[in-house]
Amino acid sequence: MKYYVGIDFGGTGIKVGIIDENGKIVIKDSFVTDPSKNGDEIVKHIAECTQKVMDDSKLPQDDILGIGVGCPGLLNPETGQLKVVVNIPNLNGVYIAKGLTDILGKPAFLDNDVNTMSLGEFYYGAGKGLKHVIALTLGTGVGGGIILNGELYRGASFTAGELGHVSIARDGKYCPCGNSGCLERYVGRDGIIENFMISKNKGVETSIDKYLEDGEVTPKAIAMAAGDGDALSIRVLEETGKILGSVLATLVNALNPQAIIIGGGVSNAGELILGPARIEMMKLAYSIPANDVVLVKAKLGNDAGLVGSASLAVANLK
């Protein structure tokens, strides 16, 4: 059995884990990085955390083939250089892949977390056994990864699959990116909440209050209310799905994929969003590619980040 390390950046902390060649997590741990240290020190600390997990796993070190790092923000996957790390600016400019390889003596690879999560689903989740897969992550942000002919496709400036800023309407909602009508503003976490609140504030009846934690309306609460038949919640998720489906239809025509996999927190609403999205996608897409694609929920759940990061090593070392 061969093993791969995954390092998953999030906030100021990192998760480190090891998966076997079937994608099963053998061990995982989490650590807090000190963002006030300089870049080299942070890389050294991440390497120490990684070594600790490898030691704790009691696996033969030679059977651990490599390391994948998934990180949000701007980076260069070809050189393994971080460009803009939102919560740890001292890592900006650091060649983290080379740094980890130098210290740990194993090949290390870097990519953005949405791409690594897409690879995770491709190898070990809802895309297992397929060749052409589009994975979308719907959370606070909306991102995507595109796997074609079994390979992650990154594009000319490594932004391929960044579907959050596809404009669905020229005169649509304003997006902080400067554009109007970005998909993220409709199917991302805040967009869904906003759509719900517009109706709620107008006095549309809803039973949402029963489902709120700390009084806060969330996609999770909307999904729970919808599941119990709350008409407003159902409608808001339907509209979310419909907008998602219209963009997916274009991707189906352009890329003729076998599967579109929807992950991220918002995807926990499941068929409440995916059902209407599928209907719209099938309605608007060309019949031949539409009949050959499935729209499904991601499978890896909370481990998507970790398994995904490790999958980046799998992709590079297979």
Binding site for a copy of itself (CB under 8 A): 131-132, 144, 146, 148-149, 151, 153-163, 165-167, 170, 177-179, 181, 246-247, 249-251, 253-258, 283-289, 291-293
Is the CB of 19 or the CB of 187 nearer to a copy of itself? Answer: 187
Minimum CB separation of residue 98 from a copy of itself in Å reads 24
Is the CB of 30 or the CB of 256 nearer to a copy of itself? Answer: 256
Is the CB of 154 or the CB of 189 nearer to a copy of itself? Answer: 154
Minimum CB separation of residue 311 from a copy of itself in Å reads 19
Query: Both tokens of residue 310?
Result: 């490790």
Minimum CB separation of residue 57 from a copy of itself in Å reads 35
Is the CB of 179 or the CB of 207 nearer to a copy of itself? Answer: 179
Measured distance CA(136)–CA(157) in Å, rounded: 19
- 10, 303 Cβ separation under 8 angstroms: no
Minimum CB separation of residue 77 from a copy of itself in Å reads 13
For residue 7, the one-letter residue type is I
Is the CB of 6 or the CB of 145 nearer to a copy of itself? Answer: 145
Query: Both tokens of residue 131?
Result: 């060749």
Query: Both tokens of residue 300?
Result: 């890896």
Minimum CB separation of residue 225 from a copy of itself in Å reads 27
Minimum CB separation of residue 135 from a copy of itself in Å reads 13
Is the CB of 94 or the CB of 243 nearer to a copy of itself? Answer: 243
Is the CB of 178 or the CB of 215 nearer to a copy of itself? Answer: 178
Minimum CB separation of residue 130 from a copy of itself in Å reads 8
Buried residues in 132-167 as b, exposed as e (16+ CB within 10 A): bbbbbbbbebbbbbbbeeeebebeeebebbbbbbbb
Q: CB-side exposure of 3: number of CA atoms within 13 Å?
A: 18
Minimum CB separation of residue 115 from a copy of itself in Å reads 12
Radius of gyration over every alpha carbon of the chain, rounded to an integer in angstroms: 20
Is the CB of 1 or the CB of 84 nearer to a copy of itself? Answer: 84
Q: For helices 113-124 and 304-317, give the axis angle rounded to 10 degrees.
A: 80
